């Protein structure tokens, strides 16, 4: 159950947070994916948790893009 909740929330928060630091979507995507792969051990989770994490990563991408459009250079 905790894996499902983390898969739904962690990529969104990481993607938006890292984008605010790096100011680049692709860099934030790579860093977020590596954190999920190494720290969250995404490659050892069931298929539905991986699918939820990917869906959450896409939602995080959209949210990070909106943050960059709202304040491009801060």
What pLDDT is recorded for position 53?
94
With H, G, I as helix, E, B as strand and everything else as coil, classify residue 34: helix
| Domain that residue 12 falls in | 2-70
Mean pLDDT of 25-33: 94
Domain count, the chain: 1
* DSSP label of 39: T
- Banded pLDDT at 63 (limits 50, 70, 90): very high
pTM surpassing 0.85? yes
Q: Is the pLDDT of residue 37 over 70?
A: yes
């Amino acid at each position: 159950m905790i894996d499902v909740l983390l898969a739904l929330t962690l990529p969104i928060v990481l993607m938006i947070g890292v984008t605010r630091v790096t100011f680049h979507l692709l860099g934030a995507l790579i860093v977020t994916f590596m954190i999920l792969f190494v720290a969250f051990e995404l490659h050892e989770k069931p298929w539905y948790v991986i699918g939820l994490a990917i869906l959450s990563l896409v939602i995080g991408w959209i949210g990070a893009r909106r943050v960059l459009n709202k304040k491009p250079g801060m």
